[in-house]
Structure 1
Amino acid sequence: MPLEFTAIDFETANSSSASACSVGLVKVKEGRVVDRASWFIRPPLGHDFFLEWNTRIHGIRAQDVADARTWPEQLPDLLAFADGDVMVAHNAAFDMGVIRSACAATYLDCPQLDYVCSLQVARRTYELDSYRLPVAAMAAGFDDFRHHDALADAEACAAIVVHAAGRHGAGDLAELAAAARVSVKSIGPAAAAVATAAAR
């Protein structure tokens, strides 16, 4: 199979992982970026306050998302864009945690998604002093981007995975995960069932 996935990045309004205020999505088919999308998100009530620290990082303010769609309104578009792809994110536990928490905060079932962490891939691919997104992206030949802009970060994440696949001679994401010795993980009902069974 060819190298295909959807890279994703969220920015949050505050320290709550349910407070997604922006998302960036980049679709890769046959190892090439074929589509991009990004939009603001109005965080759920109780998670909708903006901390100065977060705004200082990403530049998004409460007034920027005042007319944005809510999580329940935009989640179908996010899933339609991904269209069943394995998701890729840098420090994917954070981004997948945003999906889980935002769904919980809005009483939605968490969607079933498989994902790979590009941070883990980078650690198994490059020898760097830091594996932060800007540094890992530079190693992949993708630099001079606006870090903490959700779309730019998703593009950087995609570039890392495409470059790493070439380094490892991997034809698809499963081959890359195997070569880099990283796991393809999941969120959603199946992942929850596995976790419940393991806890018994």
Structure 2
Amino acid sequence: MLHFCAIDFETATHERNSACEMGICLVENGEIVETKTWLIKPPSFPYFHPRNIDVHGITPEDVQNAPTFEDIWHEAENMMYGNLMIAHNAAFDAGVLRSCLEYYGFFKPKINYLCSISLAKKAWKTLPRYGLKSLAEQHHISFNHHRAGADAEVCAKISLLAFQNLMVTRNEEIQEVMKKSVKIL
């Protein structure tokens, strides 16, 4: 059966360690079982770049009493433990996770990750666009775009549909179907 976690970050600035929101959607046996979102006080606090606020709508006031990444990592890590991590534009989210772990001096776990864009391109070769919003619209999924929990959950739903289309039913088949697309954090 398919087991993975879809993950998404929103950031306060262009700095990769400036996560201001993290979302994880947990999939077990091919079903979404939990979605969790954390607002995070980034190291740049109280500074947020106006362009980032324009994208996600999260302001310094929203996170002034929020925990830091250091405070939430153990809970997040427990949700991710042993799972394949999938993210839409995974290079960005893996970079944010890597930078946050480095900033707070955490050991970097060995996490295999896959980009749902490459998965979608393999599953649906002729779509005009592969952005999360476009894929959601294509599959009649509505969501609150650019909020981490919602984006992570839509990433999970799109990934499940893509796996279904590719007739992938077990994690062991993902590597074979996706060849070199699975990377290590």
- TM-score bracket, normalised by the shorter chain, equals over 0.9
The TM-score with structure 1 as length reference comes to: 0.86
Alpha-carbon distance between aligned partners in 2 of 1:137 and 1:170, rounded to the nearest angstrom? 20
Equivalent residue for 1:105? Answer: 103
1:165-188, CA deviations, whole angstroms, 9 ceiling, x for partnerless residues? 11111112341342244522111x
Alpha-carbon distance between aligned partners in 1 of 2:169 and 2:122, rounded to the nearest angstrom? 17
Task: Give the alignment's Cα RMSD to 1 decimal.
Answer: 1.5
Equivalent residue for 1:73? Answer: 71
Equivalent position amino acid for 2:158 in 1: I
Equivalent position amino acid for 1:22 in 2: E
Q: Does 1:138 align with 2:137?
A: yes
Correspondences of 1:1-200 after superposition (within 5 Å): 2-44=1-43, 46=44, 49-126=47-124, 127-139=126-138, 141-187=139-185
Number of matched residues? 184
Alpha-carbon distance between aligned partners in 2 of 1:69 and 1:32, rounded to the nearest angstrom? 29
The answer on whether the counterparts of 2:12 and 2:49 sit within 8 Å (CA) in structure 1 is: yes
Tell me how far 1:48 sits from its aligned partner: 5.5
The TM-score with structure 2 as length reference comes to: 0.93
Query: Which secondary structure does the structure 1 equivalent of 2:181 belong to?
Result: coil
Query: Which secondary structure does the structure 1 equivalent of 2:123 belong to?
Result: coil
Alpha-carbon distance between aligned partners in 2 of 1:153 and 1:173, rounded to the nearest angstrom? 22
Query: Which secondary structure does the structure 2 equivalent of 1:124 belong to?
Result: helix
Equivalent position amino acid for 2:54 in 1: R
Query: Which secondary structure does the structure 2 equivalent of 1:21 belong to?
Result: strand
Alpha-carbon distance between aligned partners in 2 of 1:184 and 1:117, rounded to the nearest angstrom? 8
The answer on whether the counterparts of 1:3 and 1:173 sit within 8 Å (CA) in structure 2 is: yes
Q: Would you identify which runs of 4 or more consecutive aligned residues in structure 1 move more than 4 Å? A: none
> For structure 1, which segment, 28-37 or 46-55, has the greater mean C-alpha deviation from structure 2 after superposition?
46-55
Q: 1:183 to 1:174 in 2, by over 3 A?
A: farther
Alpha-carbon distance between aligned partners in 2 of 1:134 and 1:144, rounded to the nearest angstrom? 9
Identity of aligned residues (%): 36
Tell me how far 1:114 sits from its aligned partner: 1.2
The answer on whether the counterparts of 1:142 and 1:156 sit within 8 Å (CA) in structure 2 is: no
